Amino acid sequence: MPVGFASCLPPSACMKSNLFCTIVAFLALTGASGAVADTVTLTSVDDNTLIEDPAGVYSCGAAQYFFVGRVGVNGGSTLRRGAVRFDFSSIPAGSTITAVSLRMYCSAAGQVASQTINLKRFNASWGEGVSVAFGGGGAPAQTDDVTWLHRHYPSTLWTTPGGQYSSTVTAARSVGGVGYYTWATNAQFVADVQSMLTTPSGNFGWCVTGNEVTLQSVKRLDAHESTVAASRPQLTVVFNPPTNFDLTGDNKVNAADLAILLSAWGTSGPGDFSGDGSVGPQDIAMLLSAWTG
Ligand SMILES: [Ca+2]
Ligand SMILES: [Ca+2]
């Protein structure tokens, strides 16, 4: 490492005199990056069922299951919509989400015929109370439970019965009989979670909708209250944590930070932003891309 490198800043000036600096500047311009990916698997923190009934008085917030689709004649031929939400506070603020997938367990089905189960983002908050039911008929709603008419029973109503959620399908998966199913990552799934991470106050989770026409199309999915931990809804999120280039802690990225990086040249850091185990040219390029002066 050339001892006099620090003297060649700012980067715009160094390009004229120093080939090494030119290479570094090129790396910065081309966005060279080696951010280290991290992965978390989150279990749902809230899940419940919107049970269609004219009075909106049934729910199953604390049940081991939630239900999606249309039940049969014996159940009144009515609809069920799932509600599921995850807490992203364990992911560092400022992280970039790169992949999201959801695994859920279908523990019973009205019929084994496959149905498309969609996730659509809720536009308003909803609650999970202590109502418990074994079946999809639900139990009398308790305080804070979501119902067909209420976001939070008994006093806060949906503006649209059956829930307020986006018409955009975030993720779709065909679900047949009993078993595990995974809703794979896609751009909309990533965008949803990125938004929920950036603005936690706008994280209302997803509405889970199924076949709303066919009788007995209903599927029973395990909730976070399931006694079988593995069968609870599990969202796997891959992300790149934000890189802190301010090695001195003065809220600027400048020559003082570069000096610290240079003093650690060839070692594991500080300044190994790329995470490859050694401070080198790529790390300088990353620091320069965040330069504040
Ligand atoms: Ca629940
Ligand atoms: Ca600094």
User: pLDDT at position 134, please?
Assistant: 87
Q: Is the pLDDT of residue 3 over 70?
A: no
Q: How confident is the model at residue 21 (pLDDT cuts 50, 70, 90)?
A: low
Read off the pLDDT band of 233 (50, 70, 90). Answer: very high
User: Closest-lying ligand to the alpha carbon of 257?
Assistant: 2
Beta-carbon neighbour count of residue 283 at 10 Å?
27
Tell how far the Cα of 119 is from the centroid of ligand 1, in angstroms: 17
Task: Identify the nearest ligand to the CA of 291 by its number.
Answer: 2
- Looking at all shown ligands, the one closest to residue 287's CA atom is 2
More confident residue, 146 or 34: 146
Mean pLDDT of the chain: 91
Find the 89 Cα to ligand 2 centroid distance in Å: 27
Cα(213) to centroid(ligand 1), Å: 25
Pick the ligand that lies closest to the CA of residue 246: 2
pLDDT at 32 over 80: no
Where is average pLDDT lowest: 25-34, 86-95, 282-291? 25-34
Residues 190-212 have a mean pLDDT of 98
Average pLDDT over residues 36-61: 96
SS3 content of the chain, % helix, strand, coil (to 5): 20, 30, 50
141 CA → ligand 1 middle, Å: 13
- Ligand 1 centroid–CA 43 distance in Å is 11
- Please state, in angstroms and rounded to a whole number, the distance separating the CA atoms of residues 47 and 108: 17
Cα–ligand 2 centroid distance for 265 (angstroms): 17
Give the number of the ligand closest to the Cα of residue 256.
2
Q: Nearest ligand, CA of residue 222? A: 1
Q: What is the DSSP code (8-state) at residue 226?
A: -
Higher-pLDDT residue of 274 and 201 is 201
- Predicted pLDDT of residue 18: 58
Q: What is the pLDDT of residue 15?
A: 44
The Cα 192–Cα 124 span in angstroms is: 14
Centroid of ligand 1 to alpha carbon of 44 (angstroms): 9
Query: Residues 225-244: what's their mean pLDDT?
Result: 96
Q: Residue 169 — very low, low, confident or very high, per pLDDT cuts 50/70/90?
A: very high
Residue 235 pLDDT more than 90? yes
Say yes or no to pLDDT of 248 above 60: yes
How far away, in angstroms, is 241 Cα from ligand 1 center? Answer: 30
More confident residue, 231 or 269: 231
Q: What is the pLDDT of residue 26?
A: 52
Ligand nearest to the CA of 244: 2
Give distance in angstroms: CA of 212 to centre of ligand 1.
22
Expressed in angstroms and rounded, the spacing between residue 162 Cα and the centre of ligand 1 is 17
Tell me the per-residue pLDDT of 119-132, one tens digit each, with 9 for 90 and over.
999 999 999 999 99
- Cα of 222 vs centre of ligand 1, distance in Å, is 9
Half-sphere exposure of 282 (CA within 13 A, CB side): 14
Q: Residue 210 C-alpha to ligand 1 middle, in angstroms?
A: 18
Q: Compute the distance from residue 263 Cα to the ligand 2 centre, in Å.
A: 15
- What is the whole-number distance in angstroms between the Cα of residue 282 and the centre of ligand 1? 47
* Band of pLDDT at residue 7, cut at 50, 70 and 90: very low
pLDDT at 70: 98
Q: How confident is residue 35, by pLDDT bands cut at 50, 70 and 90?
A: low
Quick one: how many helices (H) and strands (E) in the chain?
A: 5, 15
- d(CA 154, CA 225) in angstroms, rounded, equals 23
pLDDT digits (tens, 9 = 90+) for 107-118: 999 999 999 999
The tokens for 61 are: 């917030």
Q: Which ligand is nearest to the CA of 61?
A: 1
Burial 171-182 (b: 16+ CB within 10 A, else e): bebebeeeeebe
pLDDT at 217: 98
